Amino acid sequence: MFIDRYGRPVDQMRISVTLRCNHSCIFCHREGINGMEHRELTADDWGFVAKVSVKNDIKYYKLTGGEPLIRNDIVEIVHNIRKAGGTVSITTNGSLLSIYARRLAEEKIDHINVSLHSLKNDIFRKITRGNLERVLEGIDTALNYGIKLKLDYVVLTYNSNEFIDIINFAESKGIDLNIIELIPLGLSKNEYYKLHLPLDKIIEYLEKESVAKKVREFQTRPVYIMSSGIKITVIKGWCNPELCMRCTRIRMTPDGKIKTCLFRNDQLVDAWREIKNRDEKGFEKALKKAVELREPFFKAKNNCIYLR
C-alpha cells in the first residue's frame, strides 16, 4: 500500500474519464482539471491502470467527468476495472442513466451518485441547463434494476430552501444523500459569493431531526442517520483541514495524468506513456511519485485563501 509522508494511506482513485458533458452546471469545477490535452484513455487503458493500482491496494474507483455516461464505452470501463479486482462506483448527472442502468447493474456497479440540485424544473434548468424529468427517470430506472444510489445536492442560494424537500424525496426512495457545500474552484470571486451559502441551518436541522450521528473515517465526514433509515452525509470540502488529513484518494485525468488533490495542478504526474506502453513498473513508479508529492491542501484554518 502507498502511504504518503503525512501517514495517509491511498486506497481510492477518482477517475475523470472525460471532461465532455451534456449539462452546464453553473458551479462546475471540472474536477479541478486545467489545460488538459484533447485525448482520452481507452477502456483497456483504464483496465491496465486498475490492474497495477489494485496490486498496490488501491481498491476503490469512482468514475466521474464531465459526464461519464457520455462515453459509449463506460460499461466496458466498469467491466475492466472490476475484472482487475476494483470496486467501482460512478458519479453522474443522471440524464443518461435510464439508458445504461441495466448494463451497469449486470456489471455489479457498487453504487451510483446522481446529482440532484433541485426538484423544481425551472430551478433545476437554471442550475444545470438540464432536464429534470430525464434525471428522475434515470433514478427510477436504476432503482428498478436494484442499483444502490446516492444523491448529491450542492447547496446554493438558488436551491437552499429545498433542502427539506430533497431530504423527503431521498427518504421516499430509500436513497442516501450527500449535502455538499459549494467550493470556489472554477468560479470568480463574485460568482462564488453570489452562489455560496453556509450549511449551518441545514446542519442544525439534521442535529435535531436525526436519530443518530457518526463520523466516517474517510475525510472525517459527519453522517446523520434519519428515522427512515437513510444516511445523510455533510461534505465541506473548502477550508477543512480535518477532511484533508483523512483523505485517502488519488485522482486521474482523462489524458492519463495522476492528480494529487482536487485543488492542485502543480503536482501532476504524466503517466500517459507508461499506460499506453503497458509499462507496469513505470506506472507503479508514477503512482509512487504522485503519492510522495501528496500533502493536505488545508493544513490549518488560517490558510483558507480564495481560489479563482
- CA nearest neighbour of 199 among 222, 181, 220: 181
Domains and CATH numbers, the chain: 2-298 (3.20.20.70)
Cβ-count burial 49-78 (b if 16+ within 10 Å, e if not)? bbbbbbebebebbbbbbbbbbbbeebbbbb
Q: Distance between CA atoms of 106 and 108, rounded to whole angstroms?
A: 5
| Among candidate residues 76, 79, 66, 70, the one with its CA nearest the CA of residue 15 | 66
b/e 114-132 (16+ beta carbons within 10 angstroms → b): bbbbbbeeebbeebbebbb
Task: Judge if the upstream peptide bond of residue 66 is cis by omega within 30 degrees of 0.
Answer: yes
pTM: 0.95
The tens-digit pLDDT sequence of the chain (308 residues) is 999 999 999 999 999 999 999 999 999 999 999 877 789 999 999 999 999 999 999 999 999 999 999 999 999 999 999 999 999 999 999 999 999 999 999 999 999 999 999 999 999 999 999 999 999 999 999 999 999 999 999 999 999 999 999 999 999 999 999 999 999 999 999 999 999 999 999 999 999 999 999 998 888 899 999 999 999 999 999 999 989 999 999 999 999 999 999 999 999 999 999 999 999 999 999 999 999 999 999 987 655 655 43
- Extract the C-alpha cell encoding 73: 464505452
Closest by CA to 38, choosing from 74, 66, 2, is 66
Q: Which residues pair with 64 in a beta bridge?
A: 16
